[in-house]
Structure 1
Amino acid sequence: MPDMSLILVVVILALTFDFINGFHDTANAIATCVSTRAIRPGVAIIGTAILNFIGAMISTGVAKTIGGDIVMSPDLINEMVIISGLIGAIIWNIVTWWFGMPSSSSHALIGGMIGAVVISAGTAALNDWGIIKIVLSLILSPISAMVVGFVIMKLIFAICHSYKPARVNLTANRLQIVSAALMAFSHGSNDAQKSMGIITLALVSGGVIGTLEVPTIVKLLCAAAMALGTSVGGWKIIRTVGGKIFKMHPIHGFAADLNSAVVILTATMLHLPVSTTHVVSGSIMGVGSAQRVKAVHWDVARSMVTAWVMTIPCTAVMGAVSYLVATSLFGGGL
C-alpha cells in the first residue's frame, strides 16, 4: 500500500517549490518591461500570473523529462528521497531570493534531487545520460540566448537606424507589452512542469499510478501554485535583472523579451527543461553587448554566473543532508 501521508508531503512541498519558483522568477517575465516603464508593475505582475497559468497547461513533455531522466527507475527511490531533494531546492531558492540573486530554480531542483538520490541509493541509481541531457540544456540555453540576443539586437539596430530614436522607443514600448506577454507564457510552459514531473515521479514511486503520465489535477495544482507565486512578485530580483546588468531602453527590453520567449518555447517543444533566469539574463547580456560591450555591468554578471555554478553542488549537499536528517528523525530510508 502506498504511504499517502508521505505522498501528500511531496505534493505540498512540490507546490511550495512551485510557488517560490513563481515569485522568485517573476523577474524573468517582467523585469525588462518594468525597468523600461512599458507596463506598470502591478498590471505586469497580474498579467504574468494569468499567462503563467495558461502556459503551464499546454504541455507535459518537460515534466516527463524531469520525472524520468534523473533516476534509472522510480522503483529505486521513495517519497523520502523526493522530499529531501525538494527541501534542498526550497532552502536554496529562499536564500538566493533574500539576497536578491537571480539563481536558477531548475538547477536547484536538479541538484537537490541528485544529492538525495546519491546519499540514499548511490550513484548507480542516477540516469547518467538523462542528467547530462538536462544539464546540457541548462548550460547551453543561456549561451544561445546571449548569442541570439546579440544578433537580434544588431538586426533591429540595422532596421531602425534611419528612424528617430523617439519614434523607435515609442513603437518598442508598445511591442514590449506583446513580447513580455509571450515571455510570461513561455515561463509557465517550462517552469511549472518541473514540479509536475516531481509529483508524478512520487506517484509512480509510491504505486499510486503506473506510468509517468501527468494527471490533470497535478497540472492544475502546479499551474495555480506557479501563478499564485508569480502574483506575489520577487521585487529584489526584478531590480537586479531589470537594472543592474544593463541600463535598458524599450528597444532593448523588446529584443530581450522576444529572444528569451523564443528560446524557452523552443526548449519546451523539445521537452527540455531550461532555466528562465539564465535565459533572460543571457538575453539581456547579449542585447547589452550589441549596444556596447562596456555598457554591460560584467561584475554583476560574474556574480550571477558564480551563483549559477554553485547552485547544483550546493543544493546537492542540501538534498543529501536533508535526507540524512529526515531519515534519522522519521525513518523511511531505503
Structure 2
Amino acid sequence: MFRRIVTAPDRRIEVRSEIAALLPVDREAEVNVVATYFAGDAARRSAEAIESELADSDLIVCDELDFGAMAMGVRAGMPVAVVSVITSGALVRPARVADALEQLRLELGVSEPLNYLGDRFVIPFAPVMRDPEFPPPPNALWLRPDRGAMTDPDGSIVATLGTEFNTESGDLFERIIGALSELNAPAVLAVGRDLDPTRFGPTPSHIRVEQYVDFAELIPRANVVVHHGGSGLFVRSILGGASQLVLPMGADQPFTADRVEALGVGAVLNSQTAGTADIAEHMAELLASGETRARVLALRAETLDLPDPSAAVADLESLVELRS
C-alpha cells in the first residue's frame, strides 16, 4: 500500500480573469530557482508534511525536485527512490544546489550529506531524451512508461500551454488560435482549469477551446501537438506518435525544446516573437512531414523497449528488504 502526501493546495482550480505578460526565457534563472525555491521553502514544507508519516513507512518515492522528502528519508535511515521528471536532466545541477542542500541538512538535523539522487534514480523515458551534457547517474533505474492508446492519427492538432505558465503567457494563446484558424485541421486547445475559454471569443468551427481535455485520448489521434515544452507533454507526445511544435516559456521548457530539436521530432519557436503566420507555417510543415513522424515513431519504439515497471518494483522491494 502507499500514501500520497499533498504539501499545498492546488491554486490552479481558481479561475483567473487576467493573463500576465510573457517574459523572456531566462535559463539561468530557471536553474537558480531549483536552489532558491525547491531546495528552500518548498523543501521545508515537504519535510514538514511527511514527517508524521514516516514511522510506519518503508520507502519514500518522490520526484527529483522534492529535496525535503529526500532529506527526511536520509534522516530516518529509509531508502529513497527519486523519480526523474525533467527529461533533459538539465535543471538539478550539483554545484548549483550544494549550498542550499547543506543548509537544508543543517536545518532538519540530518547527520549525513543529502543525496539528491536517492538510493535509486528512476527514469521513465528513453536515454536519448536526456541531454548528453547531463548524463544519468550510476544508480539509474530505467522504467518503461505506460504505453497508452495505440497511435491512430487523423490529421488533428492538439495545443496547450500547460498548467503553470498558461496564466503567464501574454497573447500567446491568441497567436496560437490565429494560427489554427489559418489551417483546416481539426484542433483542440486546452487553456487550463484556471482560465475561462470564453475569454478568447468565438473561434472557427474546426477549433475547440476547452479548460481541460484528456490528452491520453486525444494525442494518439493527433498529428501535431503544440505545447510549452513541459517534460510530461514531450514524453506523452512521443508515446502518442505526434510531432511537436514547442514554444518554451520557462522552467524546464527551453531545455526540453533543445531535445525536441536535437532529436528531430518537432520544431521550436520563440514564444515571444513567433507570429501567427510563423506558427501556422510550422504547424503545416509538421502535419505534412513524414520524416519527422518516422523519427517520432522510432523514439516511441525505443521508449517502449525500456524494462517493464515490474522490474523496478522488484528492485525497490529488494532495497527495502536490505534496509529492514
Q: Which has the larger radius of gyration?
A: 2
Structure (1 or 2) with the greater strand fraction: 2
Higher relative contact order (CA closer than 8 Å, sequence separation 6+) = 1
TM-score, normalising length: structure 2: 0.29
Whichever structure has more helix as a proportion of its residues is 1
